[in-house]
Structure 1
Amino acid sequence: MHVFLPVIDCGPFLVEELKRAGIAATEDAMTGLIHAPALPDLPWLAFARQTLPEATEVKEASINAWADHIITRIAGILPDAQPWRLHLWPAYGEGKAGLHRCDLIRTALNERLKKRRRALLRSLEESASAFSSETSLVQAVLTGPDAGFVSVSAAPQPSQLRSLISPFLGGDVPHAEDKAAPSRAFAKVIESELRLGQQIESGQTCVDLGASPGSWSYVAIQRGAYVTAIDRSPLRDDLMRNPRLSFQQADAFKFRPQQPVDWLICDIIAAPQRSLDLLLDWLRERQMRRFIVTLKFKGSDEYHLMDALKELAPPLCADFRLTRLCANKNEVTAFGVVA
């Protein structure tokens, strides 16, 4: 069985997304977790925050029993000399009791590893960076004090399924804060970069479509990149004066750069099909090397449009992601690296 942690309030949408992929999934009414007998052939689930492949149900009454169970699961599976990570979190209650119990389990686990398997303890790493081909991931989610699920993803599975398995605990990325940004929309760029494991860098070139009031251009300029901003309306005054920004009052859907750019960033307010077509056109024309593009929805009737993107975009990419970011509202963000 595979267990999915859905985006908050999106469990039914994830069930439907899996159904369209030919997988009969069910939502646990008590925990909100989604259970499915298989992973999708096209491993992009916009409404899954985190995936626990081959998860097994666990019922252990004590802290020590939980620690022993996890060690039993990883023994002989994780290579001693390769890095692995442990994600342990509660999916029950609203207070600190679940978090405290997870801390106690982790402490008990470390004590046992110190006595029995020092090599595994030495290779246990604390990181949220992108998975390497040698990184394994052990996940334990508590659905109650004495129940939960454990999933062991041995390398190279976390790297291979990076579109489904997040390096962040529970797939959650804290919102970035910057009061100097023109709007909170800048957080979508930061989160996309973190999930992708690449960021806009100094000296790179960016095209920002639908740029006004300028939050996405703001991030790129702060990094030292050169930005061509396209919109019908100008950006914030300080951005318009910045020497690394070139503003063009034009139709974002018709604009093309004279030569490929390092980043296409696009948070334009438009029907999702138009943004989807725009991204595919840029990908087919190889107009950019990396991209972050928001698909904005009204209601849920057009979520099925993403199925076409899952089929058409990945063959054009070296890395493709599609997810509702923590910073998204009724939006889904596509981001990745062009092949």
Structure 2
Amino acid sequence: MGYSPWGRASNLKGGILRLKSPKDAPSRSSLKLDEAIQVLMSNKQRKATFRLGHTAVDLGAAPGGWTYQLVQRGLQVTAIDNGPMDKKLMATEQVVHLKENALTWLPEKPVQILVCDMVEKPSLVANLMAKWLLQAKAAHAIFNLKLPMKKRFQEVSDCIGEICDQLEAQEIDYFWQAKHLYHDREEITVYFRRQMPK
């Protein structure tokens, strides 16, 4: 038995955003970011973020499923991964592929959005996202936390709590939400937005 407050009910049929997989997307995971952007970000945030010439970073990018969605929205993307990127995606000239360690690499200048779908421990990904947000390297972050076999709710709660604690310790204004999206598997998608320094 469950309920949903009237004001928060989804206008989508069954509460699910139905998406069609793009024929030229490098991987199925492309749908995960497409859904995350449409479900977790407001129209205002999408319009402010996805503008021609704005910048993004995709950590653990290969072969480029998430990078594809950023490119389709007009962003210049730095893809960080030791693996190969999709050739068609690279031909757009909107992607710079760096074969660097995604856990340690940081950009010289802040980007509008950071995305990450790496298969790593949730706590490791959470601390990595906290580092980027604390250092104001990205205004927005969308990332997946791969769920452990046991105590999933506790793990997610601990990871998100850790990021919030670190941001609050530095008195940084932020907003977050998380959801197990239709296109997710054994994972949960998290969105953080922080106020950038002027």
Deviation at 1:235, TM superposition (A): 0.5
Match of 2:116 in 1: 266
- C-alpha deviation, 1:201, in angstroms: 3.0
The structure whose residues are more often strand, as a share, is 1
Matched, 1:318 2:174: yes
Deviations 1:254-296 (A, max 9, x none): 0111011000011111121111111111121111011110111
Matches within 5 A, 1:160-171: 166=10, 168=12, 170-171=14-15
Once the two structures are TM-superposed, the CA of residue 302 in structure 1 deviates from its matched residue by 4.4
The corresponding residue for 2:4 is 52
In structure 2, the partner of 1:338 is: 194
Contact 1:176 1:190 in 2 (8 A): no
1:116-135 mapped onto 2 (5 Å cutoff): none
- Counterpart Cα distance in 1 of 2:151 and 2:82: 29
Change over 3 Å in CA distance of 1:188–1:321 after alignment to 2: same
Question: Structure 2 CA distance, aligned partners of 1:182 and 1:220?
Answer: 13
Counterpart amino acid of 1:188?
K
Counterpart contact for 2:59–2:116, Cα < 8 Å: yes
Q: Per-residue CA shift, 1:174-225, capped at 9, x if unaligned?
A: 2342121011111111111111124333211000000000011111112221
Mapped to 2, the partners of 1:317 and 1:266 lie a distance apart of: 22
The residue identity in structure 1 corresponding to 2:29 is A
Q: Report which structure shows greater RCO (CA 8 Å, sep ≥6).
A: 2
Alpha carbons of 1:276 and 1:245: their partners in 2 closer, same or farther (altered >3 Å)?
Answer: same
Task: Note if contact 2:126-2:163 (Cα within 8 Å) is conserved in structure 1.
Answer: no
How many corresponding residue pairs? Answer: 183
Counterpart in the other structure of 2:159: 309
Tell me the equivalent position of 1:190.
Answer: 34
Tell me, yes or no, if the aligned pair for 1:218 and 1:239 is still in contact at 8 Å. Answer: yes
1:283 counterpart = 2:127: no
> Mind listing any 5+ residue stretches in structure 2 that lack a counterpart?
none
Does residue 249 (structure 1) correspond to residue 99 (structure 2)? The answer is yes
Q: Is the 8 A contact 2:126 2:160 kept in 1?
A: no
Secondary structure of 1:229's aligned partner: strand
Secondary structure at the counterpart of residue 154 of structure 2: helix
- Aligned partner (choices 36, 43, 53) of residue 203 of structure 1: 53
1:312 Cα shift? 3.9
Which residue is equivalent to 2:18? Answer: 174
* Distance in 1 separating the partners of 2:20 and 2:132: 28
Deviation at 1:317, TM superposition (A): 5.2
Letter paired with 1:307: S
Cα–Cα, structure 1 residues 273 and 176, in superposed 2: closer, same or farther, change >3 Å?
A: farther
Measure the CA separation in 2 of the matches of 1:333 and 1:283.
Answer: 17
- Provide the rounded CA distance (Å) in 1 between the counterparts of 2:13 and 2:102: 36
Which stretches in structure 1 are left out of the alignment for 5+ residues?
1-32, 35-50, 54-137, 139-152, 159-164
Output the TM-score relative to the length of structure 2: 0.82
> Whole-Å Cα distance in 1 between the matches of residues 67 and 78 of structure 2?
8
Query: Whose radius of gyration is greater, 1 or 2?
Result: 1
Tell me if the contact between 1:227 and 1:244 (Cα under 8 Å) persists in the aligned partners: yes
Task: Return the alpha-carbon distance in structure 2 between the equivalents of residues 274 and 309 of structure 1.
Answer: 9
Partner of residue 327 from structure 1, selected from 180, 183, 193? 183
